[in-house]
Structures are given as structure tokens and as C-alpha cells.
Structure 1
Amino acid sequence: MVGFVSRGHDWSRKKRQFHYRSNSHGPYSLILTGASFIHKYYYYAYTFELPYEIYSAVDELMNCEDLAMNMLSQQIAERGPYRVFSLTRFSCILCKGGLSMKSNHYRVRSACLTNFINIFGYDPLKFSSVIYKSR
């Protein structure tokens, strides 16, 4: 997966769960799918090969489908994502609010990460620090 907006995750020993984090610097393990490129096979795999429990969680929360896609694509490819650095910032001028504006956003995303990793049986996400620069 190649994209412009990256995020990361780490394990919290204290809380005994994975923690979703926004990071603009340093290693990352997730690419937000709103501005990304991915091979069409991963859409097939997402539709037909993803465990049912993950579909149920995504439908119930109406959230975390991008986390599931990152996990699935990295499990299949056996490599981490690639971030493209852009001089232009991505923002939605017409957007007044979204899931990421809710106060529980990071808590929900962290719970999704922990749940999905438990369903997968291991953490398929791979860290990357590769950044390609665009013009």
C-alpha cells in the first residue's frame, strides 16, 4: 500500500492492548486509505478472504475498515506500507466533521487494532520509515 497519510501503532504493556497513534515523523505501520494506492487483488481479498469477525466489527462501528485493509495487505505482501511525502497538505474544505473529530476516535481505533490482531492471531503490521518525496 502506498499513500500520503501515515499512522502508527504500539503495544501498551500497562493497558495490555495496542495503541493507535497519529505520527507525522518517525516509523509508521499504517496508511490511511482515503489517499492511497493499492493493488486490486487486495480488494478481492478484503471482500472474500477477511475473517467474518472483522466484517462484523467494521459494520457495527462504521469504522476501522482501513486498519483491516492495512493488516490484510501487509499479511499478504509480507512488507510494510510506503508513505509519499507531499508539500501540499490534504484537507477537506467542505468537511465539517468526521470520525476522527470524535472524542473517542483514538480509543475506538486502538480497540479495533487489538481486536483485529487477536482475530489474525498475530500482528501482521510492519513498520516502515521509507518516505518518497513528491514534487
Structure 2
Amino acid sequence: FTFFLSFLFDQVDFAFTVWQSFPERIVGYPARSHYWDSSRSRWGYTSKWTNEYSMVLTGAAFYHRYYHYLFTHYVPASLLTMVDRMANCEDILMNFLVSAVTKQPPIKVTQKKQYKETMMTQVLIDGLTTGRTMTHCMNAFSHWLGFMPLVHSQMRLDPVLFRDQVSILRKKYRDIERL
């Protein structure tokens, strides 16, 4: 249990360190993406595990408090009511807001592979239960802004070089590599 907490602390500490270098962006994990569904003429949402993303879920992310201020004071009450009623989409709205201001994508930090299986299970659940909700939210938010602000990225930042020749005792984020 102690090992797991140390591992978790290292991941959070690394994400915070990255955010300090990019305080205008959302930094975190896991990632999601948007796409244009030409058959339905609307934006779509996907949580498939790929190399490309345009959003980072805010439940495990760092962002500047200025964006929280914009979220609570700039976003129309009707959209906030929609988000509250659905009990979902606040992370999508935050990504829309930050990308609209910065014109840049969020930054994804590495998630260890053992979480991939758990994430893939969540992808199936997300796709079945919330896919329509997320798509509805994305289209409502892009309509409000008048454009799609989300930007795709393939950048991922890793805290360590795996399988390198440096002793694990000399690395700052030792426990991430051990798992």
C-alpha cells in the first residue's frame, strides 16, 4: 500500500511540475478527443486510447485558477445549468474554455500501462452510457463559442526514461518506473 501511495504521489508531483512549466495549459491525465462526424454533421467525442487527444479530464489535472474564474463568471448560466443537470461535461467545458483562450491543446502526462486495462473498461462504459451526452455537450459548447476551439496533440510527457542505464536510485520519480 505504501508503495502504491508513493507511486501515486510521484505521478501527481510530476504532473504539477509540468504544469509549473506550462501554467496557461491544462496538464493531466487521462485524455479524450473530439472529431467531426460528417455523416451526422456534428462534433463527436471519443475516449478511445490513441496517440492523439484534444482534451484532458479535469478530475486528474492541473489548471490555473484564472480558468476557474472564467468558468464561473463568463460561461452563460444556461450552459452551467445544463452541465449541472447532466452531472457531466464540466471537464469538456473547461477544455473548451482553456483552448479558446490559449489556442493550444492541453498537455497529457504519462499514465502507467497497468491502468490501460481499467481505462479501456471505462471507455466501453463511457461509450455506452455517456457518448450521446458528451456529443450533445460538445455541440452545445461549440455553438456557444461559434467555433471549435479544441486543438489536437500527440505530445505526451514522461517523468523518466524507461530502461535507460541510469541507476533507479538517482532518478527523481523512482516508483513510477518500478511498476
Residue 13 of structure 1 and its aligned partner are, at CA, apart by 1.1
Query: Structure 1 unaligned runs (5+)?
Result: 92-96
The CA deviation string for residues 39-86 of structure 1, in whole angstroms up to 9 with x for no partner, is: 111111111111223112102211101110000011112211110013
TM-score if structure 2 supplies the norm length? 0.66
> What is the identity, as a one-letter code, of the residue corresponding to 1:41?
Y
Establish whether residue 53 from structure 1 lines up as the match of residue 78 from structure 2: yes
Structure 1: distance between partners of 2:85 and 2:74:
19
> What is the identity, as a one-letter code, of the residue corresponding to 1:104?
T
Query: 8 Å contact 2:108–2:157 — kept in the other structure?
Result: yes
Q: What residue number does 1:75 align with?
A: 100
Structure 1: distance between partners of 2:29 and 2:90:
17
Q: Match of 1:125, SS?
A: coil
Higher relative contact order (CA 8 A, sep 6+): 1
Query: Structure 2 unaligned runs (5+)?
Result: 1-25, 117-121, 161-179
Question: Mapping of 1:78-89 within 5 angstroms?
Answer: 78-87=103-112, 89=114
Structure 1 stretches of 4+ moved >4 Å: 88-91
Quickly say closer, same or farther: Cα 1:122–1:102, change in 2 above 3 A: closer
Structure 1: distance between partners of 2:140 and 2:95:
14
How many residues get paired? 129
TM-score if structure 1 supplies the norm length? 0.86
Establish whether residue 111 from structure 1 lines up as the match of residue 136 from structure 2: yes
Question: Mapping of 1:6-21 within 5 angstroms?
Answer: 6-21=31-46
Identity across matched positions, percent: 30
